[in-house]
Chain A
Amino acid sequence: MRVPALLLALLSVLAPASADEIASGSTFLSPELRRRQGDPNRNPAWFWVDQGKELFAEKPATGQACLGCHADPAASLRGAATHYPQVDRPSGKLLNLESRIEQCRVERQRQPAFGYESAELLSLTAYVASLSRGLPMSVRTDGPARPFYEAGQAFFERRQGQLNLSCKQCHDGLVGQKLRGDTISHGAGTGYPAYRLEWNTVGSLHRRLRACSLGVRATQFDYGSPEYLALELYLAGRAEGLPVETPAMRR
Chain B
Amino acid sequence: MFNARITVPPQAKAGDIVEIKVLMRHPMDRGGQSDGKGGIVPRKILNRMTATYAGAEIIRFDMHTGVAANPFISFRTRAVETGDIVFEWREDGGATYTRSARLTVA
Contact = CB atoms under 8 A, between A and B. Distances in A.
Interface of A: 40-42, 44, 46-47, 50-51, 119, 200-201
A47 B70 contact: yes
A218 B64 CA distance: 37
21 contacts: A40-B5, A41-B5, A41-B21, A41-B23, A42-B21, A42-B23, A44-B23, A44-B25, A44-B70, A46-B5, A47-B70, A50-B3, A51-B3, A119-B1, A200-B27, A200-B68, A200-B69, A200-B70, A201-B27, A201-B69, A201-B70
A201 B70 CA distance: 8
Interface residues of B, number: 12
A70 to B, nearest CB: 24
Q: Is the interface of A mostly helix, strand, loop or mixed?
A: mixed
Given A42-B21, A42-B23, A47 B72 contact: no
Contacts, number: 26
Q: Is the interface of B mostly helix, strand, loop or mixed?
A: strand
A41 B23 CA distance: 7
Nearest to A201: B69
A236 to B, nearest CB: 28
Given A44-B23, A44-B25, A200-B69, 10 more contacts: A40-B5, A41-B21, A42-B23, A47-B3, A47-B5, A47-B25, A50-B3, A200-B27, A200-B70, A201-B69
